[in-house]
Amino acid sequence: MIVQEKNQDAVGKSESKKFWKFSDILADPIVKERWEKIRKYFFLRESTYDMTRKCNIRCKGCYYYEGDKQYAQDNRDPEAWRRLMRAENKRGITYVVLAGAEPSLVPELCEICYQEMPLGTIATNGLKYIPESIGYRIHISVWGNDETSRLIRKAKNMLHRQVENYKGDPRAVFVYTFTRNNIDEVYEVVKILGEHGCKATFNIFSAPVGYDGDLKHTTDSLLYTRKTIIDLMKKYPESVLFSSYGVVAHTHKYGLHDLYSCSYPRMNPSKDIGLGRSFRQYRADLTWNRDTACCVPDTDCSDCRHYAAGSAVVTARLFRHASDPLTFSAWLDYVDTYLAVWVMGYEKGKNLCNELVAPPGYGVF
Ligand code: SF4
Ligand code: SF4
């Protein structure tokens, strides 16, 4: 979430060697307006919660069933969850991500979280409808067309069932995960989603620790994914929630940690500031462990391009993007997109920057 790094270079240099003050960058009224729009959300402080260790399907490459978090016993006591949410609120958490394994299998616990903490997102496979009284954003994972889902997730007619459950639901965002093998299939998926008025965003498969299977990306597949997302943004502007800077950040040959230095506790030794201080990843038994805490635990950091990771890692780097108007506009688009994907009721604006802007200190790929 938007926990900002310390101001190391609030005034930077553009490629033309001109120094830009932040106030000069904001002199453009369109940039200023977008900045005012997104900065209202700087109060968001996130933690994540495994609601249950159970899932109704079993996907290849699932990071939940890596590491020891999968062995935590479920705590199904509603009052224990209510106490946890109240305690979380007291320590400054304002936004929750309910994940797991599969949160839709414990709707009564999700309901309690929503009663105590009204901002958040549920990550689900979308096969079981989550009651509409739970007003979180709902991210529905899509890993390809139905044939691919049948092979990788061992579930039949998956997209059809997901769309039937969530078409017309303002909470829903479909998250298409690009693996090395499903890139072209995204066209049929986004077309179907568009026909049903559903919103789509994109994730890049990030390998769990030790995974070396055929879902893992290569340099070629990252470049092809990049080209494909750019094309989809043009073809389906009403359905697709994404930005040009998101394309660069998530399909770069370097992962998010290399590009931006990940701020989650697992990779951030600082216990005093930002996410390093506030973020916790609770297991299904309500325990947590700072050494493994991040939004996608047991993902290989060197391969991490996960959309949930970017929502914190890239958005936190305001100051290093406040170097010139183009770079700052690219970053504003990223944050605007992330808020539209993660916060109920937030409407994405038109992207300000359609160029591929390089992450500070790196090339464009
Ligand atoms: S639906 Fe999610 S939690 Fe369940 S096996 Fe698949 S990736 Fe893992
Ligand atoms: S997996 Fe990603 S989000 Fe988690 S600590 Fe590593 S780089 Fe950060």
Q: What is the pLDDT of residues 3-55, one digit of tens each?
A: 555 544 444 444 455 789 999 999 999 999 999 999 999 999 999 999 999 99
Decide if pLDDT at 66 tops 90. no
pLDDT at residue 12 in the model: 43
**Cα 12 to ligand 2 centroid, rounded to whole Å:** 27
Ligand 1 pocket, 62 CB below 6 A? yes
From residue 53, alpha-carbon distances to 7, 46, 97, 145 in Å are: 40, 21, 15, 26
Which residue among 65, 74, 106, 125 has the greatest number of ligand 1 atoms within 8 angstroms of its CB, and so is best to mutate?
Answer: 125
pLDDT at residue 273 in the model: 78
pTM given for the model: 0.94
Compute the distance between CA of residue 354 and CA of residue 230 in angstroms, rounded to an integer: 9
pLDDT at residue 16 in the model: 55
For residue 304, give the ligand 2 atom closest to its CA: 2
pLDDT at residue 167 in the model: 97
**Cα 157 to ligand 1 centroid, rounded to whole Å:** 16
pLDDT at residue 291 in the model: 87
**Cα 81 to ligand 1 centroid, rounded to whole Å:** 22
**Cα 58 to ligand 1 centroid, rounded to whole Å:** 6
Q: What is the pLDDT of residues 239-298, one digit of tens each?
A: 999 999 999 999 999 999 999 999 999 998 788 778 888 999 999 999 999 988 998 988
Which one of the ligands is nearest to 48 CA?
Answer: 2
- Mean per-residue pLDDT over the chain, rounded: 93
pLDDT band at 123 (very low <50, low <70, confident <90, very high): very high
Compute the distance between CA of residue 333 and CA of residue 245 in angstroms, rounded to an integer: 7
Mean pLDDT within 205-234: 96
